A and B are shown apart, each in its own frame.
Chain A
């Protein structure tokens, strides 16, 4: 809500400078989100009174005003506004002032006349649209005083009592130990009693615990006086006419929403507060027609709904310039009901905003009388005697027992019962009983946020000032568990990959349908957002891969070529359930593309499958004792069918890697071949938890190297060959690698030659030449039997 400091200070008597006042407001728990300085801070925008208006000697549309701005001498100000008039005050920006829009006021010659300031319009002060020129101010505002400062303050949902000038003044007053008094309106009434004119009936007492109204006859609808218009536009409300403005003024001043009906449009002079009937419609003040449901509460006359209770009035009964008799409503509606209605019809009004947060249920008569008094003053008319007031008997809220020890235990303080009582009394809480150990506290009806002792403890802390609470340290809990294996694994992988040259990315958890489908997931089975911000962010990602590809795409567009990216994060399997921590999986995804870093002495080289494979193997070496197995099988849709492998560790599939399928170009605008891997880290964490590192004694016997070149059919997978060598050679095979693969004129077509290097070693003895040869022969025989392998001559 927007608060005029000038208006606040009418109720809150304090000499605090503005910045300290703002600090006080913030330390009361109300965040000042914006400060529109209209002079209170700089002193450069003041109330200025035009003493004389003369035509500009050299410009038809300009006027030369003599202005009293409270300075030693009057100012000459050139002004183009049509409404600049003598004996009228306006906001006057002095030389040196900076207007909210940034405009700096300087002494300037305007067509030969020196202007020593500027008279301001509402728009120039960012107080809303102009009403035809500069902003007239009430005549009783002291000339030369700073004009105002408007504070935009965020009121948390628990403090609707502060959604008004008086409510805010009261809360600041408690902080400053100054009392703030509500108005005591006096109303002149006629002799006739309202009961003779209006019939009031409340059907649903739960929805409307209290309804009060007054009848004011023979009013004269007119424009509101300047002071009232300025009050409304300081809070961002638009002045309409004196009756409507009076209700809005009370809304801002006391925080209680009111509504005024044109009584002559209320059929049969009947007011029914009832649920709407199915099929009923209502045209609102803003000309919107809404269809009502039985869950809506309406104010109805004898025939039809005339207002949506607590939210907005109807068009047909609104106060217009023709209105003569006004029925003024001041009620209390159930917060939940108003909230539902407002949401159902997508309406949020100043009224619904306050009712849904919780108005003061004892406030309707005061608000009614305050508005009545204003209407009487501003629009004349006669107030019919009495108030129609129907209310449920409201049991007074149970007072709260506050134990002094508990206050001090929660806050870490040593306050006495008396100190605590003083704070609470400042806030208009009532101490029913008190002793050293405890207080019995009753709380005022505007404090809808209070129901138990902790609410009072917060109030004590607030008034004591959080920043005066000492610093202590809690007992340290020593029995800490080690980090979860998955968490540790994730950090380890991130470090390893960064050391291998990969750059870590983080992506949104939600992606588009096209990206989901592109990597072979079924969009319909993925969790969807019901209200995504855009369709690009509608599906919870089944894999990190699409995000990585998008990142490659965007960085390639920026001219980056050699890219190595990884991401570790949550993915959602198909049909993932809500609130299921186990069902959300941690994935690792890698992408590698473009040229490897080029050295001036080396050759140009593009990353290929085996670059990524080598990196994955190195990484996986940390996870388990057994080597990672790369099986070629039916690839998933995202991958090149001939360049893909399933990653298997100790018999468990942990992921896949390969070259991206060229079909993905239809979804992703990628340049060059891209190699990617995705790995299920939950599976890896389970496997690596089983890893048991055992020391094996270091053998003192020498090892022997043997090289073998074997010729096999081209389609024989090297991995199978190696596995066979290991099996045949048994534990004597200590190390095994392939150091060359040859296809060409020196072997038969359809054949390839693989050059193997073995190291044979026994833990128990030095192997003899005969033993080594016997093992090699066994291996060669096995390869011959299994793959038709021959030794290359």
Chain B
């Protein structure tokens, strides 16, 4: 057996390595790449063929050849892996490209619900008072003469009752014309000091373009020692600024409600449709009449209080620029979906 020369063998090994890397790098697809892998690293690979020839080398030269062969094997492996990675990445890019969708098409629709604007306003206003420590109290819509009128200092058979167009219930009773009867109920059930908010439905027997037979009121009142009209102004100022925003001037005008004295109508300055500022009435208020305190057994010399009542529909109309009060209870989606 002829003795192998070392250098030609190393040279052939290196040539093989170079050829393999070049072939791998130029493999057009994964299939060819696999064939390359079999060719260069498979059971009958060329490298192994060359390596079998090392037996013909002197023993001291064999480790050198083994080292070079391993380097070449690693290089081939690395080239294979790089190339395989390239193919996988190209394949993924292709697949992702194929999966492209039109993101501007509409999403799967989910019906959007709404809360009624009256609920939204009730919440907003109620929250602004409960955070001050007011308790929310309710009373019946179907009231009696005593709570709706008599206990609130409406004298029997007096024109003051004409201020309220009342719905009567057949067989006795009425639909409350305001939320003020809750004052009487709440005061009887509690002892001062008390701060109460009473939202609810109220009813008047008139309907025209600006009045509904049913509307929503929020009544608020405080009874304690030393409650002053200036306190009422402080609370109203806060209410108006919270609901209508800062810089919303308001004024109080003397008025008459049998259950408060002094009584006031509260106007806010508002731009009308012609752009001119004018005073708009938004709520009624006053110091609770001593006769009302006496009617619930309170000592009117020691205690005083204030009360206010606001029409929620009116508040909502002003805030959102709603011009027709009838929208609230007509349940037209074109209205309801705006809130």
Contact = CB atoms under 8 A, between A and B. Distances in A.
Interface string A325-339: 000000000011001
A530 B175 CA distance: 11
Interface string B244-280: 0000000111111000011111000000000000000
Contact of B254 (A27, A411, A537, A563): A27
Contacts of A600: 105-106
Interface string B181-195: 000010000000111
B333 interface: yes
Contacts of B263: 458
A531 B136 contact: no
Contact of A339 (B111, B112, B159): B159
Given A469-B230, A508-B213, A530 B169 contact: yes
Given A458-B261, A480-B133, A578-B169, A474 B113 contact: no
B113 A499 contact: yes
Contacts of A335: 158
B9 interface: no
Interface in B109-125: 109-116, 118-119, 123
B19 interface: no
B338 to A, nearest CB: 11
B98 interface: no
Nearest to A586: B138
Contacts of B194: 477
Interface string B201-233: 101011100000110000000101011111101
A462 B255 CA distance: 9
A480 B119 CA distance: 22
B66 interface: no
B332 interface: yes
Given A503-B337, A579-B144, A555 B111 contact: no
A503 B254 contact: no
Contacts of B158: 157, 335-336, 339
Contacts of A555: 331-333
A584 B142 CA distance: 8
A412 to B, nearest CB: 3
A494 interface: yes
B173 A501 contact: no
Interface in A412-459: 412-413, 452, 454-455, 457-458
A2 B138 CA distance: 41
A29 B330 CA distance: 36
Contacts of A562: 111
B11 interface: no
B175 to A, nearest CB: 7
A159 B159 CA distance: 11
Contacts of A497: 113
B139 A581 contact: yes
A509 B214 contact: yes
Contact of B262 (A458, A473, A494): A458
B230 A412 contact: yes
Interface residues of B, number: 93
Contacts of A409: 226, 228, 304
Contact of B108 (A357, A412, A495, A599): A599
B201 A29 contact: no
A384 B304 CA distance: 57
Interface stretch (B22-30, B53-61, B160-168): B160-168
Contacts of A530: 167-170
B287 interface: yes
B60 to A, nearest CB: 63
A137 to B, nearest CB: 32
A668 to B, nearest CB: 14
B235 A466 contact: no
Nearest to A602: B108
Nearest to A473: B234
Interface stretch (A101-109, A483-491, A734-742): A483-491
A527 to B, nearest CB: 5
B45 interface: no
A676 to B, nearest CB: 15
B207 A491 contact: no
A582 B203 CA distance: 20
Which of B107, B136, B142, B333 counts the most A-chain CB atoms under 10 A from its CB?
B142
B231 to A, nearest CB: 4
Given A506-B116, A578-B172, A584-B141, A156 B110 contact: no
B157 A340 contact: yes
Contacts of B264: 466
A774 interface: no
Interface string A461-476: 1100011011111111
Interface in A495-542: 495, 497-510, 527-533, 537, 540
Contacts of B139: 581
B96 interface: no
A771 interface: no
A583 interface: yes
A213 B264 CA distance: 41
Contact of B111 (A340, A564, A583): A564
A467 B167 contact: no
A84 to B, nearest CB: 36
B113 A501 contact: yes
Given A336-B157, A462-B254, A31 B265 contact: yes
Contacts of A580: 140, 142
B334 interface: yes
B134 interface: yes
Nearest to B251: A467
B90 to A, nearest CB: 30
B111 A597 contact: yes
B79 to A, nearest CB: 46
Contact of A157 (B160, B304, B334): B160
Contacts of A570: 141, 201
Contacts of B254: 27-29, 458, 461-462, 466
A99 to B, nearest CB: 19
Contacts of B331: 505-507, 550-551, 554-555, 565
A345 interface: no
Contacts of A452: 290
B141 A506 contact: no
A347 interface: no
A563 B333 CA distance: 10
A528 B169 contact: yes
B157 A156 contact: no
18 contacts: A157-B163, A336-B157, A357-B159, A413-B230, A452-B290, A457-B262, A477-B222, A484-B136, A487-B138, A503-B333, A503-B337, A562-B111, A578-B144, A579-B147, A581-B185, A583-B140, A599-B106, A600-B105
Q: Kindly list the 5 A-B residue pairs having the minimum CB-CB distance in the complex, ordered from nearest.
A: A412-B230, A501-B111, A578-B173, A29-B254, A412-B228
Given A466-B254, A540-B142, 16 more contacts: A27-B253, A29-B255, A157-B159, A157-B162, A452-B290, A472-B234, A474-B195, A475-B224, A484-B136, A501-B111, A505-B336, A509-B175, A529-B167, A529-B169, A530-B169, A600-B106
Interface of B: 105-116, 118-119, 123, 130, 132-136, 138-144, 146-147, 157-160, 162-163, 167-175, 185, 193-195, 201, 203, 205-207, 213-214, 222, 224, 226-231, 233-235, 237-238, 251-256, 261-265, 287, 289-290, 304, 328-334, 336-337
